[in-house]
Amino acid sequence: MSREAPTLEDVAQEAGVSRATVSRVVNGVRNVDPGIQETVRRAIERTGYAPNRAARSLVTRRSQTVALVVSGAGDTPEEVHNAVATRVFADPFFGRVVSGVVGYLRPRSMHPLLMFAESEDTRRQVLTDLRQGSADGALVVSTHADDPLPALLADAGLPAVLFARPSRPVPLSYVDLAHRDGAALAAEHLLARGCRRIATITGPLDVAASRERLAGFRDTMARRGHPHVPVAEGGFTLDTGASAMSALLSAHPDLDGVFAANDLMAQGACQILREHGRRIPSDVAVIGFDDSSAATGCRPALTTVRQPVEEMAAAMARLLDEQVRGVRSEATSLIFGAELVVRESA
């Protein structure tokens, strides 16, 4: 016969405290002496007690689940929705976001629920799930500047935190990077190498981060006496980076430096440069952005601007947790600094 699962009473007896005290520790009540909390936690480990999540939710009014929402704009047809989901899973950036979120949630016995909100119906489902308590709040990664979900969440008064500053002001907390500063680091490094005919591959210019990186790069170049920077727009993918590099080489065959607004596009640019017989970095220096797995997987390894995505995602989860627990009531912003990581490509 199987052994019965340990109960609260078993933990209380092991710890030498009351059942009510054990219950308060298990449910995260904050007015318990830290020494008693530690005693109870050790008793839980020794007995192997596992809290009943359903019963715990009735006490705490929390599901211990957080919605990680990848959100866009418009009414997206099913085939486009599937393409978006495929692109998200293939993008090293999103994997780093998930890693940071899970890294914060797991030690706190909290769990992520992945949701896509690319249409009116799926946005409505996110709002419904949050109102019904299926998730305690939402961590939102928007893929489009016109994404209506942040405003819908704010209007509904639902707990939510955004990855990246929203295009239109909403009273929600967010984490972001100092994108202009990062792009300025790339410009300064290319100029310091002696590059003089420098071009840039931007991300989609309807995305705020892309515009910020372009502005920071152009501004630094202008301050250093380079008023015109050739620009080609990409889509944050390897293929669009390759296409943009082909267009730049066709229009400016003598260029000697390239800044791409993410590592995947920089990797695509390197492929095209090699196909045209250009040596990297002696003929053309290349710098990416993000410091993702694409940077270390590229040949040569990419010099890039590091975006601490995992730390940013963990901070996003922490802000949401504080909001749900009532520790934080006002919206806030956290802006992370960028760092240049020098490798072989520049």
pLDDT of 117 reads: 86
Query: Cα(164)–Cα(304) distance, rounded to whole angstroms?
Result: 20
Nearest to 228 by CA among 270, 200, 267, 254: 200
Token digits of residue 62: 């929390």
Neighbouring residues of 303: CB distance < 8 A, sequence distance ≥ 6: 189, 285, 286, 287, 288, 340, 341, 342, 343, 344, 345, 346
CB contact at 8 A, 240 and 204 = no
Nearest to 320 by CA among 328, 312, 308, 311: 328
If one compares 62 and 245, the residue with the highest pLDDT of the two is 245
Query: Cα(289)–Cα(211) distance, rounded to whole angstroms?
Result: 14
pLDDT of 2 reads: 43
At 106, is the pLDDT very low, low, confident or very high (cuts 50, 70, 90)?
A: confident
Query: Cα(73)–Cα(151) distance, rounded to whole angstroms?
Result: 12
At 54, is the pLDDT very low, low, confident or very high (cuts 50, 70, 90)?
A: very low
If one compares 318 and 89, the residue with the highest pLDDT of the two is 318
At 109, is the pLDDT very low, low, confident or very high (cuts 50, 70, 90)?
A: confident
Please tell me which of 69-73, 110-114, 223-227, 295-299 the model is most confident about, judged by mean pLDDT: 223-227
CB contact at 8 A, 113 and 134 = yes
User: Which range, of 86-90, 115-119, 273-277, averages the lowest pLDDT?
Assistant: 86-90
Over range 132-137, report the average pLDDT. Answer: 84
pTM of the model as a whole: 0.76
Residue 180 C-beta-side C-alpha neighbours within 13 Å: 8
Is 90 exceeded by the pLDDT of residue 11? no
Is 80 exceeded by the pLDDT of residue 257? yes
pLDDT of 5 reads: 73
- Structure confidence by residue, pLDDT tens digits, 196-241: 999 999 999 988 899 999 999 999 999 999 999 999 999 999 999 9
